Amino acid sequence: MEQWQKDIKESIDDVETLEKMLGVPAEEVREIVEQYPMRITPHVFKLIREKGDSIWKQVVPTAEEDHPDAACDSEDPLHEEKDSPVPNLVHRYPDRVLLVITNQCPIYCRFCTRKRFVGSPGTLTPENLKQVVDYISAHTEIRDIILSGGDPLMVVDMLLERVLKALRAIPHLEIIRIGTRVPGTLPSRITENLCNMLKKYHPLYMNLHFNHPDEITPEVAKACGMLADAGIPLGSQTVLLEGVNDDPEVMKRLMQKLLSIRVKPYYIYQADLVKGTHHFRTRVEKGLKIISALRGHTSGMAVPHYVIDAPGGGGKVAILPQDTLLYLDDDQAIVKNYEEKTFKYSQPNVPKEVNKDAASFWVVPHDTD
């Protein structure tokens, strides 16, 4: 048994151990955990400093998960099951698909988009994999696949390689991506054997899930370094969470720390409308405030896209502060920077009949004098 598998066995995954280790009364959360499984790895347990801190809130179940939610909340708010042509595969965008290869995760985030099934038994079977390969092979417009779950790195190397090898045999499938929270919550899983196996299947990318700067530890930095040294470009995905990271300074420290361990900030997600997660959601204005606070106040490399994954399967929609482009016409653009100063940018001279893009933009009129 490898060290990471021992760490999983030593994780907190029952209410009696939770009560013993963290003082949470077992009877308060027993029904919650029966519905929505819990797992806290030894690594994450060590990061908890006090009750209710930013790490605690992400992993410790609470009775709030069973409170009546907003009417719009759903078990499957992104309509993934509706967009699933074969089991385990989601095909929403024209040229890319998402493949769920396991329901298991190193930890079970209390705000998870797939709260409805993560933690339940289930791993991609050879029969399922054949259906997936047959579907992708028949749809030559698909050039990009994201391995997700659960967490793809929770399966052993041999099974993960079986999936990667089958996908790499599809000629028109150019890019493979892996979405994972393992490096930040189970860093012992990132081994030399895993890295040596992964680098045989380039171009391979990884998006890593981090929500708070306290998650960036020396062990995590080492794990990310091993992946980066294997030639895997690393990006980050962060969920905006009430009381966890909904603060511009906290988010700035997280993004800066990610860059320092060779992870490029990619997305900040507005929390999805998932049943049982209402207490985690912030107003969209908070996300806009955070993006405005990042721009110009830290490296552009540290500024991710802020997105809402549109309810009902509409896909990701980038949300931007609306006051940076103040005016646009055939002659000039007027823009505002992070210091609230305005600047004029002269447009190149192009005959109006050639400038086909002019009617594509609408900007609130601005006094140019």
53 is catalytic: no
Kindly give, in sequence order, each residue whose CB lies less than 8 Å from that of residue 100, ignoring residues fewer than 6 positions away.
Answer: 88, 89, 90, 114, 124, 148, 149, 150
Q: Of the residues 13, 69, 246, 309, which is catalytic?
A: 309
Judge contact between 258 and 226, C-beta under 8 A: no
Q: Residue 145's beta-bridge partner residues?
A: 97, 176
309 is catalytic: yes
Q: Per the annotation, does 224 bind a ligand?
A: no
Q: Per the annotation, does 112 bind a ligand?
A: yes
316 is catalytic: yes
92 is catalytic: yes
Q: Of the residues 112, 181, 189, 246, which is catalytic?
A: 112
Q: Of the residues 57, 246, 272, 306, which is catalytic?
A: 272
Q: Of the residues 114, 189, 252, 281, which is catalytic?
A: 114
168 is catalytic: no
Q: Of the residues 92, 162, 295, 336, which is catalytic?
A: 92
Q: How far is CA 188 from CA 3, 61, 184, 193, in A?
A: 6, 24, 10, 12
93 is catalytic: yes
> 9: exposed, middle or buried (C-beta count within 10 Å: 0-12, 13-18, 19+)?
exposed
112 is catalytic: yes
If phi > 0 it is left, if psi is from -120 to 50 it is alpha, else beta; for residue 366 that is beta
Q: Of the residues 13, 36, 105, 246, which is catalytic?
A: 105
Q: Of the residues 39, 57, 96, 252, which is catalytic?
A: 96
Q: Per the annotation, does 105 bind a ligand?
A: yes
Judge contact between 255 and 304, C-beta under 8 A: yes
> 38: exposed, middle or buried (C-beta count within 10 Å: 0-12, 13-18, 19+)?
buried
Judge contact between 207 and 236, C-beta under 8 A: yes
Q: Of the residues 39, 69, 108, 109, which is catalytic?
A: 109
The tokens for 30 are 């027993």
Could you give phi then psi for residue 317, rounded to 5 degrees? -125, 120
Judge contact between 264 and 301, C-beta under 8 A: yes
The tokens for 331 are 């002659």
> 65: exposed, middle or buried (C-beta count within 10 Å: 0-12, 13-18, 19+)?
buried
Active site positions, annotated: 92-93, 96, 105, 109, 112, 114, 272, 309, 316
Tell me the binding residues for [4Fe-4S] cluster: 105, 109, 112
Tell me the binding residues: 105, 109, 112
